[in-house]
Chains A and B, each alone.
Chain A
Amino acid sequence: MKESKWSDEQLQELLSQMPKIKDNRDPREIYQNIEIKMGKQKKRTWILPAAAVAAALLLLFILAPNLMNWQESADKHVEIQSDQTQSSEQITSDNNSISEAKDEESDPEPLAREEDPQEDHAQLSGDPEKESNDDISMKSVSSEISPTAVYEEDLAGKEFLTYAIPDKEAQNIVPVSVLVDDDPDRSKFALFEDTMSKLTEDAWGLEEYYPLKANLTHDQENNILTVDVPVDHPYSMSSTAELLLEKVLANIMNNLDIEKIDLRTEGKVGIEFSHYGYREEFIPENSTGNLIYYFLYPNGADSTPFLVPIREELNSVKDALKAMKQNRTENNLQASIPDDIDFEIEEIKDSKLIIRFNNESEIIDNASTLHAIEAILLTAKDFDFDTVKLENADVDKIGKFDLTEELKVPVAANKRDLPN
Chain B
Amino acid sequence: MDSVFDELYKKYHQDVFQFLFYMVKNKELAEDLVQEVYIRVLKSYERFEGKSSEKTWLFSIARNVAIDSFCKQKGWKQKIIEKFDWSTQQVKDELPLPEEIAVQREEIQMIYRCLDLCTIDQRLVIIMRYIHELTITETADSLGWTESKVKTTQHRALKVLKNHMEHFKAKEGMDNEGIKVER
- Does A69 count as interface, using CB distance less than 8 angstroms? no
Bound-state CA distance A20–B107 (Å) is: 16
Question: Which of A11, A20, A37, A237 contacts B158, CB < 8 Å?
Answer: A11
Residues of B within 8 A of A14 (CB): 107-108, 111
In chain B, residues 19-43, which have Cβ atoms closer than 8 Å to a Cβ of chain A? 21-22, 27, 30-31, 34-35, 38-39, 42-43
Instruction: Establish whether residues B119 and A236, one from each chain, have CB atoms under 8 Å apart when the complex forms.
Output: yes
Q: How far in angstroms is the closest Cβ of chain B from A292?
A: 34
Instruction: Establish whether residues A2 and B170, one from each chain, have CB atoms under 8 Å apart when the complex forms.
Output: yes
Instruction: Establish whether residues A21 and B5, one from each chain, have CB atoms under 8 Å apart when the complex forms.
Output: no
Residues of B within 8 A of A23 (CB): 13-14, 17, 30-31, 34
Bound-state CA distance A277–B181 (Å) is: 32
Instruction: Establish whether residues A18 and B131, one from each chain, have CB atoms under 8 Å apart when the complex forms.
Output: yes
Residues of B within 8 A of A19 (CB): 100-101, 103-104, 108
Instruction: Establish whether residues A2 and B31, one from each chain, have CB atoms under 8 Å apart when the complex forms.
Output: no
- Does A22 count as interface, using CB distance less than 8 angstroms? yes
Bound-state CA distance A313–B107 (Å) is: 57
Which residue of chain A lies nearest to B155 when distances are taken between CB atoms in the complex?
Answer: A8
Q: How far in angstroms is the closest Cβ of chain B from A389?
A: 49
Bound-state CA distance A208–B39 (Å) is: 33
Which residue of chain B lies nearest to A19 when distances are taken between CB atoms in the complex?
Answer: B100
- Does B156 count as interface, using CB distance less than 8 angstroms? yes
Whether A15 contacts B38 in the complex (CB less than 8 A), given A21-B17, A21-B100, A23-B13, comes out as: no
Whether A5 contacts B42 in the complex (CB less than 8 A), given A19-B104, A19-B108, A236-B119, comes out as: no
Bound-state CA distance A236–B70 (Å) is: 14
Bound-state CA distance A163–B1 (Å) is: 57
- Does A288 count as interface, using CB distance less than 8 angstroms? no
Question: Which of A6, A22, A274 contacts B122, CB < 8 Å?
Answer: A274
Kindly supply a per-residue 1/0 record for chain B positions 89-132, scoring 1 wherever the CB is within 8 Å of any chain A CB and 0 otherwise: 10000000010110110011001100001011110001000110
Instruction: Establish whether residues A272 and B160, one from each chain, have CB atoms under 8 Å apart when the complex forms.
Output: yes
Instruction: Establish whether residues B111 and A274, one from each chain, have CB atoms under 8 Å apart when the complex forms.
Output: no
Residues of A within 8 A of B18 (CB): 20-22
Main SS class of interface, B: helix
- Does A16 count as interface, using CB distance less than 8 angstroms? yes
Question: Which of B21, B27, B39, B126 contacts A15, CB < 8 Å?
Answer: B126
Bound-state CA distance A140–B6 (Å) is: 70
Instruction: Establish whether residues B74 and A274, one from each chain, have CB atoms under 8 Å apart when the complex forms.
Output: no
Kindly supply a per-residue 1/0 record for chain A positions 14-32, scoring 1 wherever the CB is within 8 Å of any chain B CB and 0 otherwise: 1111111111010110110
- Does A12 count as interface, using CB distance less than 8 angstroms? yes
Bound-state CA distance A101–B14 (Å) is: 83
Q: How far in angstroms is the closest Cβ of chain B from A202?
A: 11
- Does A38 count as interface, using CB distance less than 8 angstroms? yes
- Does A41 count as interface, using CB distance less than 8 angstroms? yes
- Does B72 count as interface, using CB distance less than 8 angstroms? no
Whether A16 contacts B130 in the complex (CB less than 8 A), given A34-B38, A34-B42, A234-B74, comes out as: yes
Residues of A within 8 A of B31 (CB): 23, 25
Q: How far in angstroms is the closest Cβ of chain A from B158?
A: 5
Kindly supply a per-residue 1/0 record for chain A positions 266-306, scoring 1 wherever the CB is within 8 Å of any chain B CB and 0 otherwise: 00000010100100000000000000000000000000000
Instruction: Establish whether residues B42 and A16, one from each chain, have CB atoms under 8 Å apart when the complex forms.
Output: no
In chain A, residues 257-271, which have Cβ atoms closer than 8 Å to a Cβ of chain B? none
- Does B133 count as interface, using CB distance less than 8 angstroms? yes
Residues of A within 8 A of B101 (CB): 19
Residues of A within 8 A of B153 (CB): 274
Residues of B within 8 A of A132 (CB): none
Bound-state CA distance A4–B21 (Å) is: 30
Bound-state CA distance A2–B174 (Å) is: 13
Bound-state CA distance A23–B1 (Å) is: 19
Instruction: Establish whether residues B35 and A37, one from each chain, have CB atoms under 8 Å apart when the complex forms.
Output: yes
Bound-state CA distance A5–B13 (Å) is: 36
- Does A231 count as interface, using CB distance less than 8 angstroms? yes
Whether A11 contacts B162 in the complex (CB less than 8 A), given A17-B108, A18-B131, A19-B108, comes out as: yes
Kindly supply a per-residue 1/0 record for chain B positions 123-152, scoring 1 wherever the CB is within 8 Å of any chain A CB and 0 otherwise: 000100011010000000000000000000
Instruction: Establish whether residues B131 and A34, one from each chain, have CB atoms under 8 Å apart when the complex forms.
Output: no
In chain A, residues 302-347, which have Cβ atoms closer than 8 Å to a Cβ of chain B? none
- Does B66 count as interface, using CB distance less than 8 angstroms? no
In chain B, residues 152-183, which have Cβ atoms closer than 8 Å to a Cβ of chain A? 153, 156, 158, 160-162, 165-166, 169-170, 181
- Does A90 count as interface, using CB distance less than 8 angstroms? no
Bound-state CA distance A121–B19 (Å) is: 76
Where the two chains meet, the residues of B that have a C-beta atom closer than 8 Å to any C-beta of A are 1-2, 5-6, 9, 13-14, 17-18, 21-22, 27, 30-31, 34-35, 38-39, 42-43, 74, 79, 82, 89, 98, 100-101, 103-104, 107-108, 111-112, 117, 119-122, 126, 130-131, 133, 153, 156, 158, 160-162, 165-166, 169-170, 181
Where the two chains meet, the residues of A that have a C-beta atom closer than 8 Å to any C-beta of B are 2, 4-6, 8, 11-12, 14-23, 25, 27-28, 30-31, 33-34, 37-38, 41, 208, 213, 230-232, 234, 236-237, 272, 274, 277
Given contacts A21-B21, A23-B13, 4 further A-B contacts (CB under 8 A): A6-B166, A21-B98, A23-B30, A30-B38
